[in-house]
Amino acid sequence: MTMDIDRVRILTGLAEAWGQWDAFAGGLSGDDWATPSRCPGWTVQDNLAHITGTELMLDGRPMPDLEVSGDHIKHPMATNNEKWVESFRSGSGAAVLEAFREISAKRLGDLDAMSDDEFLAVGWTPIGEAPYGRFMHIRVYDAWLHLQDCREPLGMPGDESGLPAEMSIDEVGTAIGYIIGKKGGAPDGSRVEVTLTGPVERVMRVAVDGRATAVDELEGGPTATLAVSSTDFAALTGGRADPGPYLADGRVTIGGDEELARQLAMNLAFTF
């Protein structure tokens, strides 16, 4: 599934996602900042430090020269992320929030001032070579998902609908063929329908004909179905939760070929 580079929508979504973080973080106590998040090895403070550090990196600031380690560091990009996070650990949550507010305001100004050619220029992104605007769409997803990573353990649900949530689900949707075919192992001939019941409502369909491909319609209807809330779908595809309890308590419901549907539900994670 491809994605159009809608500059206005992307920059609006980024501003809203960062605004959600600002509003959420502004009311946190010291204990809240120190609470473990859904991301192994990271507290709530670490999540905002990660968002802040990435924007500092994109602003051209030098990478902190620090040694980092931990079982949660799985690849070179995670090592770089951890260096930025570690650089903020000696400070308070309030200090991280101040740094976030400063760099996010600067970045929004810089992005707004970019020419269309600059915004569409192809370069490195976490998904390979792609337009810079595509990278900024991923930044919305990253900010929104990490916000949910902090809201859930604090028992502070929110921001599950709206533009950043919609863009985040759309981001996952670009990988739905990979999720169903490669991660889930749907066999040739499978026709899979994933229904997101809300707050962000979507229906994603994948046909496997030699390769798993996102399609608008399924000839003959689906052979396996999954239904789940958009918030839980983001958690599961982001590798933030064990799918077993979600199946057991009905947060994920399956239909059609239930053996295949269960296999797919257990293997939705495509990133962490």
Q: Which tens digits make up the pLDDT trace of 17-32?
A: 999 999 999 999 999 9
72 and 158, same domain (yes or no): yes
Average pLDDT value over all residues in the chain: 96
Least confident of 10-19, 24-33, 76-85, 248-257: 76-85
Look at residue 1 and tell me if it is in a domain: no
pLDDT at 71 over 90: no
Domain C-terminal end among 169, 194, 227: 169
- Residue 108 pLDDT > 70, yes or no? yes
Q: Where are the beta strands (DSSP E) in 23-172?
A: 122-123, 130-131
Locate tokens 């992005």: which residue? Answer: 111
Range of the domain at 214: 175-265
Q: Which of 131, 150, 169 is the last residue of a domain?
A: 169
Mean pLDDT confidence for 115-134? 96
Residues 200-243 have pLDDT tens digits of 999 999 999 999 999 999 999 999 999 999 999 999 999 999 99
pLDDT score at 1: 60
If asked whether residues 188 and 95 sit together in one domain, one would say no
Asked if residue 84 and residue 165 are part of one domain, the reply reads: yes
pLDDT confidence band for 72 (50 / 70 / 90): confident
Residue range 130-151: mean pLDDT, rounded: 98
Domain edge (last residue) among 144, 169, 194:
169
CB of 195 within 8 A of CB of 48?
Answer: no
Q: Does the CA dihedral 11-16-20-22 come out positive or negative? A: positive
Q: Are residues 60 and 147 in the same domain?
A: yes
Q: Please tell me the predicted confidence (pLDDT) of residue 4.
A: 84
Distance, CA of 232 to CA of 240 (rounded, Å): 9
Considering the domain boundaries, does residue 2 fall inside one?
Answer: no
Per DSSP, the three-state class of 252 is strand
Residues 18 and 139 placed together within one structural domain of the fold? yes
Tell if the pTM clears 0.85, that is, is over it: yes
Q: How far apart are CA 61 and CA 106, in angstroms?
A: 13
Mean pLDDT of 150-173: 98
Same domain as 97, residue 24: yes
Q: What is the pLDDT of residue 50?
A: 97
Check whether the bond before 64 is cis (ω within 30° of 0).
Answer: no
Instruction: Count up the domains in the chain and report the number.
Output: 2
Same domain for 73 and 164, yes or no, is yes
271 domain residue, yes or no: no
87 in a structural domain: yes
80 and 139 share one domain: yes
Query: Is residue 183 located within the same domain as residue 165?
Result: no
Dihedrals phi, psi of 30, to nearest 5 degrees: -60, -40
